[in-house]
Structure 1
Amino acid sequence: MGVKKYFKNEFQVSKFNLEHDITPDFYLGCWQRNRSCVPLLCLRAILCAGNVAMVIASWVVLAGWLSSHAFWWIYLTHWGIFVNALTSILAFAISLKVYLVGPIDSAFGLPWYIKLYWFLFNASVPLAFMITIFYWAFIGGTFDIPGLDDTLDIFVHGINSVMMFLLLITARHPTRLLHFYHTVAFGIFYLIFSLIYYFAGGLDPNGNHSIYPMLDWSKPGPTVVVVVGVAIGLITLHGLVLLISLCRNHFSQRFRKEDRSFSVSG
């Protein structure tokens, strides 16, 4: 009955929107025992610093080896870590604003910057998982990117997912079933970019006309199959993120309830 009620509640037109009645859910950690923004602020500061440092390191180490810094922007991995950094910056900024100014007023709905954070969160977490899985399953060790050493490889294709997983399991705001289109929209945007780049005569640093071997628009049949597979994968990973968030909510709510019971009985 609980599952039926959940799906009935989620499959509503209003759930496509970025609206949520409890604004503190965007700056309070799900595991904390008080209503202070400081615990999540500290964690978000670390994740923000880590994601920004990853982008800078990738730019400095990898782009320095490329014939043009513009090549840095053609890879989905770099789009992924860049949007991870944007997400963590906004998360940190929201927590910092609450710490410095006070609770956020949402009498007329969520502020635009919280909606932007929520959208980027929905897009970046499944995308980070997709980049890690797709890279190590199909690309790792077979695709030569100049200047990509083992340490940087692990960070941009592995630690990226760890960072976003930590952001996911400590958040309190909901993950909506119908928000799957956020990460799919990001994937479509990259797809359009790759098409334009190919037909404009763009090359990779090795002189190939395809950015990735499996995203070769000179072979549209196999490429379309890959694109459809990636789209299905992103939707599936959104479902995984949803499942993780539901488990997170279940156990964290029990944890907070048990803690309140302990405090009362004590």
Structure 2
Amino acid sequence: MGATKKYFKRQFKTQMFKLDYEDASDFYLGCYQKNRSCVPLLVMRALLFFGSVAIVVASLVLTIQAGKGAYWPIYLTHWGLVMMMVSTGFGFAISVVTFLKGPIDGTFGLPWYMKAYWVLYNIALPLALFITVFYWAFLAGLADSEEAAELELAVNKVLDIFIHAVNSVVMVLLLLTARQPVFILHFYQVFGFALVYMIFSLIYYAAGGTDQFGFPYIYPVLDWNQPGIATLAVVFSAILIIIIHFLVALLVLARDAVGKCYRKDNGFSLTS
């Protein structure tokens, strides 16, 4: 109980809002490897990055072939796919830089590209989980939802699984195989991204934008013609995203405990 109290006390200090971290090697070493080689994580990140690129390209190409490519950028699902691709890309790039130039020195702070990766990761991971949960819980059965529309537009059902389930698998693997931290107070990063999307949906509605069937909304639950329902959806989504981020932080805590035990580190502390 004392260790748990120390963990939460540390996590809620004001400096935890920042992108400060002592050990840069945690951004390019695998959680379960006992040596200091960057190669194992390099291989894993290469697979995750190129897999992410394939998912994004397949989704975009099939939507264009269906004659609805202009609508591809309006959906949060696809924003999440792009964030997944960019975040795995930055992770892969960090591993490549380490492989070519050797260990990265974080004595005087993390380099900019590591901080950029950290922010992208903090956004893409909970966002992917949110998209998966929200889709399967609320949108999968709606005939006029974007996801169902994609199926009607002959988008492969396998791709539907990839963009609403495998997206989360990719990001969770990115989390489980590395050592990079997740701070609870970094929730503002994914929250800010979600806020940008909400503002975009409002501007899109005000400008007369429609979904690919001509309805005046992007998602049925985000119909600004019914501001009460849309506002409730936004509030619910904001709470869900914060909860997911908190659960991700706890998952990282468990990952680190298992990883340190496997590597036979000298002790494990919730505050480390």
Whether TM exceeds 0.5 here: the answer is yes
Worse-superposed segment, 216-225 or 134-143: 134-143
Worse-superposed segment, 58-67 or 74-83: 58-67
Matches within 5 A, 1:120-131: 120-131=120-131
Match for residue 203 of structure 1? 210
Match for residue 141 of structure 1? 141
Q: TM-score, normalised by structure 1?
A: 0.94
Match for residue 114 of structure 2? 114
Partner Cα distance (1:168, 1:205) in 2: 35
Match for residue 51 of structure 1? 52
The 8 Å contact of residues 63 and 71 in structure 1, kept in 2 or not, is answered as no
Q: Report percent identity of matched pairs.
A: 50
- Measure how far apart 1:78 and its partner are: 0.3
- Measure how far apart 1:128 and its partner are: 0.4
Match for residue 192 of structure 2? 185
- Measure how far apart 1:149 and its partner are: 2.8
Q: CA RMSD, aligned part only?
A: 1.4
Q: TM-score, normalised by structure 2?
A: 0.92
Partner Cα distance (1:234, 1:101) in 2: 37
Letter aligned with residue 117 of structure 1: Y
Match of 1:223 among 218, 221, 230: 230
Runs of 4+ displaced beyond 4 Å: none
Partner Cα distance (2:176, 2:124) in 1: 14
- Measure how far apart 1:108 and its partner are: 2.6
Note the alpha carbon deviations across 1:103-142, whole angstroms, 9 max, x for none: 1122331111100100011111111011011001111132
Unaligned 5+ segments in structure 1 are 261-266
The 8 Å contact of residues 59 and 72 in structure 1, kept in 2 or not, is answered as yes
- Measure how far apart 1:171 and its partner are: 1.6
Note the alpha carbon deviations across 1:35-82, whole angstroms, 9 max, x for none: 000000000000001001100000101222134x33110010000011
Aligned residues: 259
Q: Is it true that 1:91 corresponds to 2:91 in the alignment? A: yes
- Measure how far apart 1:148 and its partner are: 2.9
Partner Cα distance (2:155, 2:74) in 1: 15
Partner Cα distance (1:63, 1:241) in 2: 34
Letter aligned with residue 33 of structure 1: K
Match for residue 41 of structure 1? 42
The DSSP-based 3-state class of the residue aligned with 1:221 is helix
The 8 Å contact of residues 66 and 205 in structure 1, kept in 2 or not, is answered as no
